[in-house]
Amino acid sequence: MQLSTKELLYLDDILTMQQNMTKTLNDYATRCQDPQLKSLCQNLANRCQNNFNSLIRHLS
């Protein structure tokens, strides 16, 4: 299936957002003093990274 230019740009935006969220959440996790909040940030960062990896696998 051939993707349109608009679809490719949309996917690029999604991948960029997932990468940015992963980096941001990992940064928050390193700064957090509260163990529960730190764990939440780490879990969310992992989910963003998994989303990114899944999209890349489907596009390969």
**Where are the chain's structural domains?**
20-59
Question: Is the pLDDT at 1 greater than 90, yes or no?
Answer: no
Token code pair at residue 36: 């529960």
Contact 25, 42 (CB under 8 A): yes
pLDDT in tens, 8-43: 999 999 999 999 999 999 999 999 999 999 999 999
State the DSSP H helix or E strand holding residue 43, giving kind and residue range, or none if neither.
helix 35-59
- pTM metric for this prediction: 0.87
Amino acid at 55: L
Question: Is the pLDDT at 5 greater than 90, yes or no?
Answer: yes
Token code pair at residue 30: 């390193």
pLDDT in tens, 22-31: 999 999 999 9
Other beta carbons within 10 angstroms of residue 18's beta carbon come to 20
